[in-house]
A and B are shown apart, each in its own frame.
Chain A
Amino acid sequence: MSADAVATAAAPAKRRGWWALLRSTGPAGIASAIVIVVATFMAVFGSALASEDPYVGRLSLSFLGSGGGNLLGFDAQGRDVMSRLLVGARSSMLGPLAVVAICMSVGTVFAVTSAWKRGTYDAVVSSGMDVLFAFPGILLAILAATVFGAGLPAAALALAVAYTPYVARVLRGAALRERSQVYVDALSVQGASSFSICMKHLIPNMAPLIVAQATILFGYAMVDLAAISFLGLGVQPPNPDWGVMVSENQSGVVQGYPMPALAAGLCIVVVVVAFNVLGERLYERSQAERR
């Protein structure tokens, strides 16, 4: 048998299509995916869908209840809540996206290179990761805000840095397992370069885990970023970010007008639950597939 045939025979089967994968996550997974699609839709088309300008408000309408075309009423500054939610979806979704994109890429690079090279490099990187492991992202974000000034980019970057050690550690284990599979040696023997093996085989085989991890992290990033915006250190008012909206309208809760704050809070919770549930299902599938 040629080495080629061995490699093909030994390499784990390619994943089936996206649709089959989604269906396998069950009704909960599908429902979550729908929620995520809706949220993405809002993020992309929010400004077009909003009936009123989310930045313009009339104080006379402050906290007025729902009526007419304003389904959710007005916020503290007399702005239409629905419009603000729709437009705010963009920053609320983009932030976590940036965080996840960065920490997953950097984490994967660290994980795969560590698993591949082993030895001193691995030891150094792993210790480094261990030291920073579980360091609270919010603290880092506060520091970043102090240094660079408040704003979404600094906060997102800080969170990405805080999450990277966790990602690197989780993926390193998976990368090690892939590395020890027979097909890797078979390909090496054939003369394939380490880089091409990693890019064409190792990482794609880790893809289910990577996707699952990214989904779960998106949820965490969203919660953390919303909290940072709530503190006033992330997205700045008057931008209609969901976290900002909660902080702006908090006074309304005690005064008897909870709707604006609750609506924003609810948006956050629903989307995060969707990401968590989908992510967990995807994770279970990625583990099951491995066996």
Chain B
Amino acid sequence: MLVATLLISSFIIFSAMYLAPGNPIAVLSGGRSLPPESIRVLEERFHLNEPFFTQYWLWLKAALHGDFGISIAQRQNVSSLITARVWTTAALVLYASIIILVIGIAIGLIAGLKPGLLDTSSLVATSVSAAIPSFVAAIVLILVFSVKLGWFPTIGTGEGFAGTVHHLTLPAFALAISSLAIVARVTRSSVRDELGREHVQTAVSRGIPYPQLVRRHVLRNAAIPITTIAGITIASLIALAAVVERAFSLNGLGAYLVSASNSKDFAVVQGISLVLVTAFVVVNLIVDILYAVLDPRVSLGSRAT
């Protein structure tokens, strides 16, 4: 199923080039005029004189080997351009994921287990933060923590591990803030649901102490929907990172994708898109596996809606 997604997505990415108005050469060159030799090289390079599906197949094969072609704008291998930037994006997404999981689930747990003031305030807070786009969060965070308080730098990625963490903290939070709210919400409602289930009553009637009860029956069961939503949100981070990277002038894949899009550097756009979609599919795959592990009623490959 996920392989199908990958294939179809790659097909869409590839054929998008053919949807663009104008002939492929014009698209590839971004509208710049090229000398005839360059045109011939391009034609050969991109197999432009071959039938459509052959071109697709050749492109895909090359991509699988890590060869994404050459960037028109930078005149370099797209793959090397990607590798230079992929770690920034990966670090950012990883950092944001940790924030989402740790803080989001913690908030949801507390709100779910203890009704009352904490719960109501968490509902309000999550309602608001779910609506905050990451770029708005970015400028607010920059304003408060960078300009006013000076705790964090505004732009750039920093050196070394500590430096990188320091630099990426604000971007990671900006990226995480709205997803965090969603995860907290789902955690809260899943925990609430589980608390009310009959099998929890059974455990109570047998005298299982509260901490064990929560751990073994409530959390363990609530983990299923929580994993699903966490997976979906983290997968979406992969694309959303672009916005944050722009806001903080981080040299990551997302930012590069946007600038390549602006300069119509098609090979780059295709290459990065393919990488991002693959990452997206991989995350979904991991979620599917986790789901099958957590819920013995489900066999691998089917995810209950």
The residues of A with any CB-CB pair to B shorter than 8 Å are 127, 130-132, 134-139, 142-143, 145-148, 150, 169, 173, 219, 223, 226-227, 230-233, 243, 246-247, 250, 253-254, 256, 258, 261-262, 265-266, 268-269, 272-273, 276-277
Contacts and interface: CB of A to CB of B under 8 A. Distances in A.
Interface in B92-135: 127-128, 130-135
Given A142-B242, A227-B243, A261 B128 contact: no
14 contacts: A131-B1, A131-B5, A132-B8, A135-B280, A138-B239, A143-B12, A143-B269, A147-B16, A173-B305, A223-B131, A231-B243, A231-B258, A268-B136, A273-B127
A141 to B, nearest CB: 9
B176 to A, nearest CB: 15
Contacts of A269: 128, 131-133, 136
B8 A131 contact: yes
Contacts of B257: 142
Interface in B238-269: 238-240, 242-243, 246-247, 257-258, 260-262, 264, 266, 269
B136 A232 contact: no
Contact of B131 (A135, A136, A233, A272): A272
Nearest to B7: A131
Contact of B240 (A131, A136, A277): A136
B273 A139 contact: yes
Contacts of B261: 142, 145-146, 150, 233
Contacts of B64: none
Given A146-B264, A254-B146, A227 B19 contact: no
Nearest to B280: A136
A246 B136 contact: yes
B190 interface: no
Given A130-B1, A147-B19, A223-B131, A231 B136 contact: no
A138 B147 contact: no
A21 B134 CA distance: 33
A135 B9 contact: yes
Given A142-B258, A146-B266, A136 B128 contact: no
Contacts of A276: 127, 130-131
Interface string B139-155: 11011001100000010
A253 B142 contact: yes
Interface residues of B, number: 53
**A contacts with B: majority SS:** helix
A247 B135 contact: yes
Given A132-B5, A227-B133, A250-B139, A138 B243 contact: yes
B139 A147 contact: no
Contacts of A147: 16-17, 19-20
A139 B127 contact: no
A262 B135 contact: no
Contacts of B19: 147-148
Contacts of B277: 139
A185 to B, nearest CB: 26
Given A169-B305, A230-B243, A246-B136, A258 B127 contact: no
B13 interface: yes
B236 interface: yes
B140 A265 contact: yes
Contacts of A254: 142, 146-147, 154
Contact of B139 (A138, A173, A223, A258): A258
B205 to A, nearest CB: 28
Nearest to B6: A131
Minimum-distance CB pairs A-B, first 7: A136-B239, A265-B136, A272-B131, A146-B261, A273-B131, A139-B239, A223-B133
Contacts of A232: 258, 262
Contact of A262 (B139, B238, B262): B139
Given A138-B240, A246-B135, A146 B16 contact: yes
A242 to B, nearest CB: 10
Nearest to B238: A136
A204 B132 CA distance: 33
A262 B135 CA distance: 11
Nearest to A143: B16
A143 B242 contact: no
B69 to A, nearest CB: 15
Nearest to B255: A231
A253 B269 contact: no
Given A136-B238, A142-B257, A276-B131, 12 more contacts: A127-B1, A135-B5, A137-B239, A146-B269, A223-B133, A233-B258, A243-B133, A247-B135, A253-B139, A256-B147, A268-B133, A273-B128
